Structure 1
């Protein structure tokens, strides 16, 4: 009778892993676009390697720290909400166990079980671990796998950093005459890969995602390069 709960936990863990992987792909994508826009904009104003390296490193560090801090705050809030929901559920189980048993029976019946089977399953799950059963069925939370804000922060930090390294290296390593085309080509290729990856993880068609990603990145680089060129020409 407990098999549906096992399946749900397994599915929840899989969904959680896919969400983390999707977040990593999107974090890398952000690193690519934001750093590419920054260094290409600076390249529009100057071809000095030191200036490009300084701007790129500053953008990489600022972006990765911002991503990590934002993810930490966001996931901490989510974790606090999960803990509060579990605490409330634990109190309700302690104060009104019969009402909670009826609620669990109703939830299982809504999933397609007959009333008799749902009641039997609810009783068995309650005897085994009432809080875990209600957490999974009612709240959609696995008490053993609460979100970890530090994991999220570090994952975002590294994903952004990895993505940002590509345009940074592409702009500072090649000779001055080919820096811009090498950077633009590398960035567009990387955006095609992250667009394809995010689409596949979301079970969507890759072509529109790749096109949107490349168009957005290309537009960002064109705008920042134009702004840099204008500022450089004005001697700012």
Structure 2
């Protein structure tokens, strides 16, 4: 099934940073682009986030942008990805009807430059997923906070429509214990995507693309694959090259 002409399609250029990122996004057949991405760097750390507004409305889009933008700043300044999710919640609640919408949110934070090892942390509420690539295998990092995911974990078959019903979101999360949190030791790359991507593409294909498509092209490839598969939603992907290869030193030539 084909999708409507995409408006608001964009790609971000490779960031001038030791930790480059790329994003791609397509509105798809929705009236509003309610997906958002954000990046913030400081104190030797970088945080990235992807948010997916709940519903197809301007309020959902505003909520997603507010949540992602605030979360990356708090993650870097406070040094905690899970606290960044709670801070995003506080922003939406404090804004009241000025924002009004809600969102799913996934935040990834780079290691403390003073710590031993290279452990990233990923925190989330809702159903924006994340994967890591360690140079050999792709690892799913998140588990959807949806009615379908909770029931399937209990061995109960559910209707497909329940995959879109969130059990935890930015606005409704009550505390840190409801936030998903995972540590990722020394990944080569991290990939974050909204459900417009991961619900349209078979998980095996996602893994193949993450493993074989170079990071600069991966975000666009994931979004284009979702569009080709007939996604009915906004589709957004964010790729972080977390382990920059060492420069190649040319071998001196003999005179």
The question of a shared fold, defined as TM-score above 0.5 by the shorter chain, is answered with: no
More helix by share: 1
* TM-score, normalization by structure 2: 0.25
Structure index of larger Rg: 1
